[in-house]
Structure 1
Amino acid sequence: MQNEVIKNVQPTIKEHSVLEQIKYLIKAPVLIANVVPVLTGFLLALFFSGATFAGHLGLLLLTLIGSTLVIAGALVINNWYDVDIDTVMGRTKKRPTVTGDISLKTVLTIGIVLSGVGFIIMFFTTLEATLYSFIGWFTYVFLYTMWSKRRYTWNTIIGSVSGAVTPLIGWAALEPAFSHIVPLVLFMIIFIWQMPHTYSIAMRKYDEYKAAGVKMLPVVKGFRVTKIHFLFYVICLFPLPFFLMSLGMVFVITATILNIAWLILCIQGFMTKNNHRWATNSFFYSVNYLMILFVLMIVVTFPIFQ
C-alpha cells in the first residue's frame, strides 16, 4: 500500500532551500524538544551523583550527538512512512516528502543512516542508555507510526513512551536510571504531559486529521470526551513535583503554579464555545510548560558547571 501511495504524491517542483528541507525533514522543533530532556537527564545525574561537569564533557557530547541522530532518524522515517497523510494535512505540506524536494527513497535512506550512526555512537556511552534509545526509536517508528497511529485512539499513549524515555537516556549515560527516583519522575512528567499536548494538536487540526483518516481521540470520540481525558492527565501531573523536593522549593512551587494554571485552562475548556482557540491556547501553554520545567531543572543544578 505504501508503494501505491508513493506513485501519487511526489511533485517534481523543487520549492525550498536545502536548509528548509532539512528543517522540515527532521522536524526541527520536535527534535529540539526531545533533546532538551536528554541534556536535563544527564545534568541531573551529574548533580545527584556528585560527578563533575568537566570530567564528563566527552560523555555528554557523545550522548547528545548519538541521541540526536537516533531521534532525527526516527522522525525522518516517520516522514517517509506518513507521506500520504502529510499530503492531506495543511501543516505538513511543506515537508520535502510531500513537495518532492527529496525522493522518498533518499528520505528512507537518510532515516536509516541517521538511526544507525546514532546507535553506534550511543554504544560508546552505556548499554542502558543505548537500550533506552532503541526503545524510544522502536516505539515511535514501529509501534506508533506504522501500527497504532492509523488504527487506534490510544496511539497517543504509545507515542508518549518514545518521548518519555529521553531523560532516561541522558541519566543512564552516567548512572543506572533505576538507581534513583528522579529519572523515573522525569519519565512520568513527559509521558503524562504528552497526552494533553497531543490532544491540543488533534483538536486544533481536527479537520485535517479527519480528512487523513488518523484515529485521534477528538476525531473518534469528540471534543467533550477529549477534554475529560485532557483534564484527567493534567490532574495526574500535580503530585509529581513533590517527588523532586531535592531540586529545591523554587522548582516545586514553580511547577505547582504551572499545574494550577493548566488546570484552570482545562476547566475553561468546558465553558468555551471556541474550541479551536482554546486548543491553540492549550497547545502553546503545553509547549512552554515543558520547556520551563526542564530548563528550570538545569538552572537549579547550575553549580555543576563550576
Structure 2
Amino acid sequence: MMTSSTMNQAEWVPDKDSETSLAADLKSLFKITVLVANVVPVFAGFWLAAYFTEASFAANIDIFLLVMIGSTLVMGGALVINNWYDADIDLIMSRTQSRPTVTGNIPPRTALRIGVATSIAGFILLMFTTAEAVQFAFIGWFVYVVLYTMWSKRKYTLNTVIGSISGAVTPLIGWAALAPVSHFAPIALALIIFIWQMPHTFAIAIRKYDEYKAADVKMLPVVHGIEITKRQMIIYTACLLPLPFYLFSLGTAFVVITSVLNVAYIVLAISGLFAKDNVKWARNMFLVSVNYLLIIFVMAIVATLPWSG
C-alpha cells in the first residue's frame, strides 16, 4: 500500500481562480495521453467488427457510444487508481513528481474515490452492450489495477508482460460490443498491442533508468541490465513480423505498409546493440513505437473506409 503521510488528507476544495490548474491536474490524474492511446483500439475494434460482420454502423450508433464512453471511463478509473497507489514512487521519479496525487492538489482519498466511481460508472454503461464486452473490460481493469499496479510492478520484471495484457484487450472490448470475438482480426490486433508494449515500455525504462532504479521499480534494465533488455526488444519486434499477414483481408496495401514498418522497427532495435548513447537510441525507439501503433490502427480503419456501413 502506498504511503501518504506527507500528503494533505483534507477534502479537495479547489480555489475559485484555479480552473486552469484544475484542468491540468485532472489531465495528469487520468493520464490523458495514455487514455486516448487506449481508446483508439476500442474504436478500431468496433469499426472492424461492423465491417467484417456487415453490420450497419449507423444502426448501432447507440452501442458504439456506450462502448466508447463506458470503456473510456473504465480505463480512466484504472489509471486514476494507479496514480493513487503509486504516489509514493511517483514522488521519487522526476517525470511523475508533478502529478496531483504527489503534489497534494488532489488528496489520496479523493483520487481513490474518483477512480472507483469512474470505473463503476464505466462498467454500468458497458452492461448495456454485451456480457463479453464487460468481461474483456474487467480483465483489462483487474490486470492493470491488481496484478500490475498492486502486485507485480514493485516485485517482478514480468510486470511489463502482465501490464501488456490490459492494453491488449482494448480492441476486443470494441469488437465484443457488437459481435462475438470469434474472428481472428481482433485477436491479431490484440496480439500486436501485447507484443508492441514490450519494446515500447523497455524503451521508456532505459530512458528513465536512473529514476526507476531510485524508486526500486523492478523494470528489466534495472534488474538484469540494459544489454539484456536490448536483446529482448529485438526478439519482441521480430515477433511482430508475421502478424500483418493474419490481417490480409484488410488489403495488400495494409500488409505491405505494416510489414515495412515492422522491418524498420526491428532494424532500429538491432541498431541498439551498437549504440554508443543508450538514452538517445531508446528515445528513438520510443518515438517510433508510438507512431507505429497509431499508424497500424489508422491504416486498419482507412483500409475499410470504402465500406458503406
1:146 aligned to 2:144? no
8 Å Cα contact 1:73-1:114 kept in structure 2: yes
Q: Which residue of 2 aligns with 1:61?
A: 65
Matches of 2:80 and 2:58 in 1, distance apart? Answer: 33
Find the residue that maps to 1:88 and give its secondary structure.
coil
Matches of 2:137 and 2:89 in 1, distance apart? Answer: 26
1:198 aligned to 2:201? yes
8 Å Cα contact 1:167-1:186 kept in structure 2: yes
1:28 to 23, 32, 51: 32
- RMSD in angstroms over aligned alpha carbons? 1.5
Q: Which residue of 2 aligns with 1:156?
A: 160
Identity %: 57
Q: 132-141 or 292-301, which moves further after superposition? A: 292-301
Matches of 1:257 and 1:11 in 2, distance apart? Answer: 52
The one-letter code matched in structure 1 to 2:222 is V
Matches of 1:174 and 1:63 in 2, distance apart? Answer: 9
**Structure 2 runs not aligned, ≥5 long:** none
8 Å Cα contact 1:199-1:217 kept in structure 2: yes
Compute the TM-score of the two structures, normalised by the length of structure 1: 0.96
- Taking the TM superposition and a 5 Å limit, the aligned residue runs for 1:1-306 are 1-2=1-2, 5-10=3-8, 17-177=21-181, 179-304=182-307
Matches of 2:257 and 2:97 in 1, distance apart? Answer: 38
Matches of 2:291 and 2:9 in 1, distance apart? Answer: 36
CA offsets, 1:152-187, max 9 Å, x none?
00100000000000000000001111x111111111
Matches of 1:196 and 1:305 in 2, distance apart? Answer: 37
Structure in which a larger fraction of residues adopt helix: 1
**Structure 1 runs not aligned, ≥5 long:** none
Q: Following TM superposition, by how much is the alpha carbon of 1:11 offset from its aligned partner in structure 2, in angstroms? A: 10
Matches of 1:10 and 1:236 in 2, distance apart? Answer: 47
Q: Following TM superposition, by how much is the alpha carbon of 1:9 offset from its aligned partner in structure 2, in angstroms? A: 4.4
8 Å Cα contact 1:245-1:252 kept in structure 2: yes
8 Å Cα contact 1:203-1:275 kept in structure 2: yes
8 Å Cα contact 1:9-1:83 kept in structure 2: no
Q: Following TM superposition, by how much is the alpha carbon of 1:97 offset from its aligned partner in structure 2, in angstroms? A: 0.2
Matches of 2:197 and 2:9 in 1, distance apart? Answer: 34
8 Å Cα contact 1:54-1:305 kept in structure 2: no
Matches of 1:286 and 1:48 in 2, distance apart? Answer: 27
Following TM superposition, the consecutive aligned residue runs of length 4 or more in structure 1 with deviations greater than 2 angstroms are 8-16, 303-306
Instruction: Count how many residue pairs are aligned between Structure 1 and Structure 2.
Output: 303
